[in-house]
Structure 1
Amino acid sequence: MTRPELDTRPFAAIPRDLVARMRPWVGAAADDLLADLVTEPDEADAVQLRTGIVEGLKHFYDLLEDPARAWPRIAELYREVGREMAIRGRDLEEMHRAMRRAARATWRTLTALAETLEVDRRTLGLIADAQFAYMDAVAAEVGHGYETEAAGSEEAVHRHRVRLLRTLLGDGDAAEVAAAAKDAGWPVPRTVAAVALHPREDAGVRPPALPREVLVDFARAEPCLLLPDPEGPGRDRLLESLLREWTVVVGPTVPVGRAAESLRWAREALALARRGRIGDEEVIRTMDHVPTLVIFMAEDLIEHAADSRLAPLRGLSPVQADRLAETLLSLLENNFNATEAGNRLHVHPQTVRYRLRHLEELFGDDLQDPRRCLELEMILRARREVPAG
């Protein structure tokens, strides 16, 4: 789709010092323009409209100062206006009528301001040329945004899908989710799982190619995606394909309305992976790390508890204390089965039994108390650099 570009020549010809003299008057100019546009009290929300007028005048002044640099940013703002009009079902002709009224009112305001600043007739003519070039280009950008959205382009579809994902992960109710899903052409699944992603240090950030039913948002500071029917065929392969460039953390499988909850837990697990508390060589599934997540949700409290619960190890050398702590954790994780604990530690079961007797001397009845054993396991798991599992 072709559209006229902004003619920057009139802007470049206007003296730069004039802009510096006009900017302090932007508020007064906005008030004059507002009075010219609003003929009845109920015609518009005066505060909101005045804000828009101020922004429009500032855009015009930005173009006077540096048209080549300012225009791309301003053009995108007006393309977004057109897209929003299309989404809301507004008539494009409505915008054209408003712009014609605004152009006439703006010209009257600018000429009055020029007289106040004693601008010569030649410069006033340049301002007129710049204003009409600006209005033509703005109308073209709004129309482009409108037509692109209405035509259902790939860009428009992507925006609908990103908007849907943000609705699902935000505070959108069922009606808002249904409407956003319809706009995005996304069949609402029975269950979903959110996936938190983080680029690996040795790889560039490159959004992966994913099936259309997967909702993605890589514009976020913390990229994420939403996986429909996460237990379905091919899902494991899909996630594993991301591992070379991304740390991949899958939240719990939940109903669609609880997608934000799934993402919250995925991000909790991702934070632990980035701290080295969970290995990230494979896809991290939060439900495989529930004890670790629970422990680190109360990390400060567990650290305080460690001072008293592990006090029996204080009288030992650091090497002895570490060895017995490692053995105790392995025993707790294996229900005090010396053979299984020995396999985990790569030592003979008899060595484990010898250490267990030493632990019983140190901890006494605590090792017979299920609640105290649970506390000890949580503390020891928290203190271990990378928890098992």
Structure 2
Amino acid sequence: MSRVTQRASELALDETTVTALRAALKTTADEVVQAIIDEVPSYANALSGSMGGTIRRAVRTALGHYLDLASGNATGGDAGDAAYELGRGEVRDGRSMDALLSAYRVGARVAWRCLAAGAVPAGLPAAEVAKFAELTFAYIDELSAASAAGHADELAARGRAHERRLEHLAREILAGVSPDVLLASAQRAGWQPPDSLTAVLLPAAQARPAYRALDPSTLVLDDLPDATGVLLVPDADRSHLLRRLTDRTAVVGPARPWTRASASYARAVRARSLSSDIRDTEDHLPELVLSADADAFADLRARALAPLRTLPVATARRLEETLRAWLLHQGRRDEVAAALFVHPQTVRYRMSQLRELFPDLASPHRVLELTLAVGLRAS
């Protein structure tokens, strides 16, 4: 406490004055505590019972250190450490720094009144009273600063710990761990589970900025592989969410029950692997279905369209386009012709060729196979 030490070096109370002030320490501490109870509502109940006794002893200790300083016998470091821990404790007790600073202001006023009332009759020269006052208020300022530092450090530590617990929960959700494990992690993180979560993939650098515009209960990770970030948005209004992400390079998965949100994340990842142009996975369900098992889809296409492979490439391509249009338009010849920009008679001719290549073209199973086989290119 350099400023306090400097003030103390300018004032050396004589032994008679110090003895008189020490004799009144308990009374002074009691008056300080009572004034805080009366004037600072946050402490009205906190200073009763055993807690009140602890605080009274702490006030007496601080006043004792102060008198050691004033008499040139101490540095005040212990009192500063105690004030720092007091600030940390206020966070644990759920009180703001404003309440503690108010208590310090009240305590400084009452302590000075009591100390002055004891020092002057003990013979403190009038010229020294001003220095005594300056030392008193400088000492309280130093204690306030130490408590503020402790309060801020505790808040920061708690914030970091809370953020780590939320990130741990997000990783468990993406990994698809059991609901019981997820619920326990949510409770440890102090996170209220929603009904659903919607996964949003976006570049890692955009994750935190985007998060600030969303529900504060959103879970966020920005350190996934390939510089990817993910947001897990609770109970999202989908259209509102998409509008919020208009200026972001985002892929929005489906809403899923929060314990199964890994499925939303998996779909968003797969959609991004299909195309960099996909934003809303709900708009691309056919592609996602048909690409769910790429090998199976390739086998299906090869088998279903095998008859076309016997033809010249150009012919096969024209007939596949015609087959696709015929399936999409449910055999309505004029609509097929319009889609292909050809005459209806051309459609009739090509369809007669296709019926020779696919004799069971009217079979529901064959129609299903062919629809799937040509569907991805059609969507």
Which TM-score applies when normalising by structure 1? 0.49
Instruction: Indicate which of 318, 321, 327 corresponds to 1:326.
Output: 321
Instruction: Indicate which of 236, 241, 244 corresponds to 1:235.
Output: 241
| CA distance in 2: counterparts of 1:292 and 1:164, whole angstroms | 31
1:261 aligned partner: 263
2:280 aligned partner: 284
1:310 aligned partner: 305
**Residue type matched to 1:166 in 2?**
R
Aligned pairs (5 A) from 1:75-90: none
RMSD over equivalenced CA pairs, Å: 3.4
**Residue type matched to 2:169 in 1?**
L
Does 2:357 correspond to 1:362?
A: yes
For the 8 Å contact 1:189–1:228, the answer to whether it is kept is yes
**Residue type matched to 1:264 in 2?**
A
Q: Deviations over 1:252-306 (max 9, x none)?
A: 32111111122122222222225xxxx43xx231x44333333223322332343
For the 8 Å contact 1:193–1:250, the answer to whether it is kept is yes
| CA distance in 2: counterparts of 1:326 and 1:144, whole angstroms | 71
Give the deviation of 1:237 after TM superposition: 0.5
| CA distance in 1: counterparts of 2:303 and 2:183, whole angstroms | 53
SS in 1 for 2:201: strand
| CA distance in 2: counterparts of 1:380 and 1:169, whole angstroms | 34
| CA distance in 2: counterparts of 1:268 and 1:259, whole angstroms | 14
1:101 aligned partner: none
Give the deviation of 1:232 after TM superposition: 5.3
| CA distance in 2: counterparts of 1:216 and 1:267, whole angstroms | 16
Give the deviation of 1:349 after TM superposition: 4.9
2:72 aligned partner: none
Does 2:342 correspond to 1:380?
A: no
Q: Deviations over 1:224-263 (max 9, x none)?
A: 2212223356222123331xxx2x3332321111111221
Q: Report the CA distance shift for 1:351/1:198 in structure 2 as closer, same or farther (over 3 A).
A: farther
| CA distance in 2: counterparts of 1:293 and 1:184, whole angstroms | 34
Q: Deviations over 1:165-189 (max 9, x none)?
A: 1132234444543454455554322
| CA distance in 2: counterparts of 1:179 and 1:148, whole angstroms | 24
For the 8 Å contact 1:148–1:156, the answer to whether it is kept is no
Instruction: Indicate which of 212, 217, 236 corresponds to 2:221.
Output: 217
| CA distance in 1: counterparts of 2:345 and 2:256, whole angstroms | 46
SS in 1 for 2:314: helix
Q: Report the CA distance shift for 1:173/1:298 in structure 2 as closer, same or farther (over 3 A).
A: closer
**Residue type matched to 1:250 in 2?**
V
| CA distance in 1: counterparts of 2:268 and 2:375, whole angstroms | 20
1:196 aligned partner: 201
For the 8 Å contact 1:214–1:228, the answer to whether it is kept is yes
| CA distance in 1: counterparts of 2:291 and 2:317, whole angstroms | 21
| CA distance in 2: counterparts of 1:175 and 1:251, whole angstroms | 24
SS in 2 for 1:314: helix
| CA distance in 1: counterparts of 2:300 and 2:179, whole angstroms | 43
Structure 1, gaps ≥5 residues long: 1-88, 90-142
2:192 aligned partner: 187
| CA distance in 2: counterparts of 1:149 and 1:177, whole angstroms | 25
| CA distance in 2: counterparts of 1:208 and 1:341, whole angstroms | 48
Does 2:164 correspond to 1:170?
A: no
Q: Report the CA distance shift for 1:257/1:375 in structure 2 as closer, same or farther (over 3 A).
A: same
Structure 2, gaps ≥5 residues long: 1-91, 93-149
Q: Percent identity?
A: 36
Q: Deviations over 1:44-101 (max 9, x none)?
A: xxxxxxxxxxxxxxxxxxxxxxxxxxxxxxxxxxxxxxxxxxxxx9xxxxxxxxxxxx
Which TM-score applies when normalising by structure 2? 0.50
**Residue type matched to 2:223 in 1?**
A
| CA distance in 1: counterparts of 2:220 and 2:356, whole angstroms | 56
For the 8 Å contact 1:342–1:352, the answer to whether it is kept is yes
SS in 2 for 1:336: coil
SS in 2 for 1:289: helix
Q: Deviations over 1:6-53 (max 9, x none)?
A: xxxxxxxxxxxxxxxxxxxxxxxxxxxxxxxxxxxxxxxxxxxxxxxx
Structure whose alpha-carbon radius of gyration is higher? 2
For the 8 Å contact 1:193–1:251, the answer to whether it is kept is yes
Instruction: Indicate which of 271, 274, 283 corresponds to 1:272.
Output: 274
| CA distance in 2: counterparts of 1:186 and 1:349, whole angstroms | 63
For the 8 Å contact 2:208–2:220, the answer to whether it is kept is no
Does 2:155 correspond to 1:159?
A: no
2:365 aligned partner: 371
**Residue type matched to 1:164 in 2?**
L
Q: How many residue pairs are counted as aligned between the two chains? A: 226
Q: Report the CA distance shift for 1:177/1:364 in structure 2 as closer, same or farther (over 3 A).
A: same
| CA distance in 2: counterparts of 1:338 and 1:198, whole angstroms | 47
Structure 1 residue runs of 4 or more that deviate by more than 6 Å after TM superposition: 143-146
**Residue type matched to 1:336 in 2?**
G
1:81 aligned partner: none
